[in-house]
Chain A
């Protein structure tokens, strides 16, 4: 059975290493500051005992006031999981750091979120539309797109 790690315990470890990086922690999830997302992700991938080597999925959710991007992380070595979330504000030019450098599996998923929700991922090597064509205007998965 994949064990869902406690967000609180990992938040405590992260606070020690990167003070102020965690905004809040839930039962099996963490909300981290967007500026520290890349550092936190790098730590979660390599820290002994955590080693989240597998990025299961990335999802973007539009909550009107902000966009939330949800990372489902799994460790194949330890068979445990964690949900990491990050928020970005503003509808004109929301952006988050890319995690493609850590997990290549993020490539198409970040492009898809950029395409359908309009969140830019800074540092993505090839950030362009993926399911819609280049001349398309707007981002259909946003709640204000009808």
Chain B
């Protein structure tokens, strides 16, 4: 007897613990196997691009905090770099170093959450992510010292940073930098050969090199597919050309490689932090810039390697105090394009692991 079957549609999300925010996947299933998937988002759309057109260049910095709220420092940095490019503003040496220190601390903090949440999605429930959060707290303590905030920092300014670091910051940072490699080894020992992790991620959700480039993937998703492409190296901004570090890449482009790339990147960030602390010069942290910046009419695209990928800002100025157009090139949004390519043919449980391995932040996808 032949049993008649037909595909059916299941909504995963919008409110689901594995969707990392309010995100819906409209999955067409044949039993447990995914035939097609349609990402549905916009639940967190706040119209940041429109809001920015009504604000002065300085007032936009807090808006950028709310894009990828797990990496606000990186958002601040990308935005102020673009405004400085547009207006031709120089930044004091010490501020450049402080920016690099904050951006690299932020990369570690974001990757800790990315890796921890991914392991959660794989079924290693709560234990690994709590180890990660333990370390992330120390980074948040450091950020609290410099700007009083633990999530939305609003620390960078056009032409520098808002405050110099307090005197207790450097000793605390040095302690963190000394101890962090040991903690990364500890996670590795726990997880690298972990049966759950290997079974759930090796060979799962493969994204080929060609696909990754074609869908404009960036960050760890692109590098795990074997593309050695890191904006810090290929188009150095700020003072990244002064530091020695490697670009970790994967070869298979599966969930495991994306996980490995993030872990290795944390080690490289610690390397950069060590060098930055040693070289940190004395001096001012902010150049004299008018509160109402009026960049000359024109346009600029500035980009950085944010934890989740290439974060870019496209600004159009009409020589007024507010940008004529403010556009965010959000890495999470573009990496999400890869989801469909990766999940078709896999089972529902793998969808959540694959989705977790992209590491997206809805604040940035929806804007």
Residue A2 interfacial (CB < 8 Å): yes
Q: Which residue of A lies closest to B341 (CB)?
A: A104
Residue A119 interfacial (CB < 8 Å): no
Residue B316 interfacial (CB < 8 Å): yes
Q: Is there an interface contact between B314 and A70, defined as CB atoms closer than 8 Å?
A: yes
Min C-beta distance of B329 to chain A, whole Å:
4
Residue A10 interfacial (CB < 8 Å): no
Q: Which of A57, A62, A105, A106 contacts B312 (CB 8 A)?
A: A57
Q: Is there an interface contact between A108 and B337, defined as CB atoms closer than 8 Å?
A: yes
Interface residues on A, range: 20 to 34
Residue B93 interfacial (CB < 8 Å): no
Residue A59 interfacial (CB < 8 Å): yes
Query: Given A56-B329, A72-B301, A132-B42, is A105 in contact with B316 using a C-beta cutoff of 8 Å?
Result: no
Q: Is there an interface contact between A133 and B42, defined as CB atoms closer than 8 Å?
A: yes
A63-120 interface with B by 8 A CB criterion = 70, 72, 76, 79, 83, 103-109, 112, 116
Q: Is there an interface contact between A132 and B50, defined as CB atoms closer than 8 Å?
A: no
Min C-beta distance of B288 to chain A, whole Å:
29
Min C-beta distance of B272 to chain A, whole Å:
19
Residue A19 interfacial (CB < 8 Å): no
Residue A54 interfacial (CB < 8 Å): yes
Query: Given A61-B325, A131-B42, is A55 in contact with B216 using a C-beta cutoff of 8 Å?
Result: yes
Query: Given A105-B334, A107-B337, A131-B366, is A140 in contact with B327 using a C-beta cutoff of 8 Å?
Result: no
Min C-beta distance of A126 to chain B, whole Å:
8
Most buried by B among A79, A105, A141: A105
Query: Given A56-B329, A59-B325, is A72 in contact with B314 using a C-beta cutoff of 8 Å?
Result: yes
Q: Which of A2, A54, A129 contacts B235 (CB 8 A)?
A: A2
- List the B side residues contacting A1 at CB < 8 Å: 234-236
Q: Is there an interface contact between B214 and A132, defined as CB atoms closer than 8 Å?
A: no
Min C-beta distance of B86 to chain A, whole Å:
14
- List the A side residues contacting B334 at CB < 8 Å: 105, 108-109
Q: Is there an interface contact between A56 and B312, defined as CB atoms closer than 8 Å?
A: yes
Q: Is there an interface contact between B325 and A105, defined as CB atoms closer than 8 Å?
A: no
Residue B49 interfacial (CB < 8 Å): yes
Query: Given A2-B235, A103-B216, A131-B366, is A59 in contact with B327 using a C-beta cutoff of 8 Å?
Result: yes
The 7 closest A-B pairs by CB, nearest first: A105-B216, A131-B42, A2-B235, A57-B329, A131-B45, A59-B327, A104-B215
Given A72-B329, A105-B215, 19 other A-B contacts at CB below 8 A?
A1-B235, A56-B303, A56-B312, A57-B301, A59-B325, A62-B325, A70-B314, A72-B312, A76-B213, A103-B216, A104-B214, A105-B216, A108-B334, A108-B337, A130-B42, A131-B42, A131-B45, A133-B42, A140-B50
Binding site for B on A (CB under 8 A): 1-2, 53-57, 59, 61-62, 70, 72, 76, 79, 83, 103-109, 112, 116, 129-133, 140-141
Binding site for A on B (CB under 8 A): 41-42, 45, 47, 49-50, 211, 213-217, 227, 229, 234-236, 299, 301, 303, 310, 312, 314, 316, 324-325, 327, 329, 333-334, 336-337, 341, 366-367
20 contacts between A and B (CB under 8 A): A1-B234, A56-B310, A56-B312, A56-B329, A57-B327, A59-B325, A72-B301, A79-B234, A103-B214, A103-B215, A104-B337, A105-B215, A105-B337, A106-B216, A107-B337, A131-B45, A131-B366, A131-B367, A140-B50, A141-B50
